[in-house]
Structure 1
Amino acid sequence: MELRDIEIFLTLAEELHFGRTAERLHVSPARVSQAIKKQERSVGVELFERTSRQVALTPVGQRLRDELAPAYQQIQDAIAKAAGTGRGISGVLRVGFSAAWCGNLVVKAADAFRARHPDCEIQIQEMPLHDRFGPLRRRELDLQLTELPADESDITAGPTVFSEPRALVVPAGHPFAERESVSLEDLAHSPLITITGPPQYWLDLHFPHHTPAGTPIPRGPSTIAWQEVLSLISAGKGVCSTAARAAHYYSRPDLAYVPFRDAPTIDYALLWLTAGQSAKVQAFVQTVLAIAHDPGGRAPAGRTGTGK
């Protein structure tokens, strides 16, 4: 079995969909089908059960996946190490993150990156909520994982790494706290606590002035730190939108996190200075994307999001 055919098999074992496998590997669905049929002829047994509605691994296919995956990863790691040495992936790479769940992903990616590029040191730091692009521009960071949008002429935004549904943070005694969900139209009924510092286009997306129907959204206090936002909400000064998973990271008895049923997701991406793009940066970007889509579930559990 050739290395490319192993890659096709393992990708299909993860996606369980011929079209998505072909798109991910930049080949045709026919190429995927041919490779799988070739492998099944070679081993003399079906590796996948196919129907018009689904694709599933057979018991033999499951065993082959479990035995091939570690060996394939070792091969990929060895190739990456050799390529990294050839491209000079060494020194220090400074990576920032804006939310706790982004930090978890960055730490996991850093561990994988160090295994492939042992000559490169990864330094990780949390970014200030109010200064979204300053650390990049001051060259204090090489790249960062943070919320979109990032419409800056000197900054490149990579592909979306993952997306998070939104929730509204309200005081525990707020009328919304007992609801199963809220609507964007409900923002018209409570002051919205906002952040000072980010660009206006970013604030307009995450802290709008009007509901979709055009009703004004009253403004509450503005601050620069997430813990201050939570304290203001607890004191009854207003409400704030955030990622739904913030409820797991910032759970407090005086607060409630109520999911939105109609709000857009919060999308997270890696950003870097366009002038600072390098093999080292791109190698880390690819590592984060690989970890975020890892079938073992090591990525954030959102859909592949403002708030700390």
Structure 2
Amino acid sequence: MELRHLRYFVAVAEELHFARAAERLHMAQQPLSFQIKQLEEELGVTLFRRTTRRVELTDAGRALLTEVYAALAHLRQGVETARRVERGETGSLVIGYASMALYNLVPPAVHLFRERFPDVQVTLRELCSPDLEEQLLEGAFDVGLAIQGMHDPELIYETVLREQATVAIPKNHPLGRQAQIPLRALASEPFVMYERTQRSLIHNQIMAMCREAGFSPNVVQEAASEQAVIGLVAAGVGVSLVSACMSGLRTDEVAYRPLIDPETSVEYAVVWKRENSSPFVKAFLNIARDVSQHAGPGSKK
């Protein structure tokens, strides 16, 4: 039994007239009669009572018609679902993100994506480089919001936001009198750093910057999260280098000043597998671009 047989059956059942049903189906009456007869033989039931004056559905025919209506409706729904998936309107999207992106891109981008695509199930996973890239390659999620630094040839990176690196210092620190702070001014300061084992990319970048400025930072404490870093600065343990998006945290206890000499940017990138052509990934990339246009102070496209 083929789908066309069911459509032929529905047309005859609704018209109760083979000639009108054939006209509706844009075919000759004789082939239609043959197809219905073939369907009855395949099913082993009589679907229609035929006389010279009228055509009627049998009880078996009425029962089948009810089920065929349901099946065709389900099929139409399936086709529409497939089309919506193709357009990026329904399905699922798993997003991996660097925790620092929680302070700028993640909240507005996810909110806007859910608003535009309410039927897409969004799942979020927090990861750090290089784990983010490694799991993306393994297919653990569809798209990432990463701190730029790695360049795997199997992945595509598009930088959507650049934020100025900022010096976080205790509120009453003498350096707070300066509008901007050169990196070499921190040479004698105790540093609060991200844990090397947890945030190796950022940790190594900061260490390299300090060496290029002519000193090795005096790291007195390491912390695993952004909140912990800022909390330790607030407690007077030391100073730290953070992205500008964090300059709204604990402002009653921490002062933030732009880093200069060198003026350094933290780059946030949308990253996905080169072979991934999902419309959801493209839609999320476009939204991340839009959101970056309205990012806060210290940021630029």
Q: Report TM bin, short chain.
A: 0.5 to 0.7
SS in 1 for 2:105: helix
| Structure 2 residue ranges without an equivalent (≥5) | 1-79
Contact 1:171–1:256 (CA under 8 A) maintained in structure 2: yes
- Report the counterpart of residue 107 of structure 1 in structure 2: 110
Q: Deviation digits for residues 162-214 of structure 1, max 9, x if unmatched?
A: 11112111112322122211001123121222222357554332443634342
- Report the counterpart of residue 164 of structure 1 in structure 2: 163
Residue 95 (structure 1) aligned with residue 95 (structure 2)? yes
TM-score by length of 2: 0.60
- Aligned ranges for residues 184-223 of structure 1 at < 5 Å? 184-196=183-195, 197=197, 200-208=200-208, 210-223=210-223
- Report the counterpart of residue 257 of structure 1 in structure 2: 256
- CA distance 1:200–1:128, change in 2 (3 Å): closer
Query: In the aligned structure 2, how far is the partner of 1:129 from the partner of 1:201?
Result: 7
Residue 178 (structure 1) aligned with residue 177 (structure 2)? yes
Match for 1:163: what amino acid?
R
- Aligned ranges for residues 1-308 of structure 1 at < 5 Å? 85=84, 87=86, 89=88, 90-97=90-97, 98=99, 99=101, 100-111=103-114, 113-114=116-117, 118-124=118-124, 126-127=126-127, 132-133=132-133, 136=136, 139-158=139-158, 160-196=159-195, 197=197, 200-208=200-208, 210-248=210-248, 250-262=249-261, 263-274=263-274, 276=276, 278-293=278-293, 298-300=294-296, 302-304=299-301
SS in 2 for 1:162: strand
- RMSD after superposition: 3.3
Contact 2:292–2:300 (CA under 8 A) maintained in structure 1: no
SS in 2 for 1:149: coil
- CA distance 1:174–1:145, change in 2 (3 Å): same
SS in 1 for 2:208: coil
Please report how far the alpha carbon of residue 285 of structure 1 lies from its aligned counterpart in structure 2 after TM superposition. Answer: 1.2
SS in 2 for 1:189: coil
Please report how far the alpha carbon of residue 245 of structure 1 lies from its aligned counterpart in structure 2 after TM superposition. Answer: 3.3
TM-score by length of 1: 0.58
- CA distance 1:202–1:168, change in 2 (3 Å): closer
- CA distance 1:180–1:212, change in 2 (3 Å): same
Please report how far the alpha carbon of residue 144 of structure 1 lies from its aligned counterpart in structure 2 after TM superposition. Answer: 2.2
SS in 2 for 1:205: helix
Runs (4+) off by over 6 Å? 81-84
Query: In the aligned structure 1, how far is the partner of 2:129 from the partner of 2:190?
Result: 20
Identity score, percent: 21
Please report how far the alpha carbon of residue 238 of structure 1 lies from its aligned counterpart in structure 2 after TM superposition. Answer: 1.8
| Structure 1 residue ranges without an equivalent (≥5) | 1-80
Task: Answer 1 or 2: which has greater strand percent.
Answer: 2
Match for 1:85: what amino acid?
R
Contact 2:105–2:291 (CA under 8 A) maintained in structure 1: no
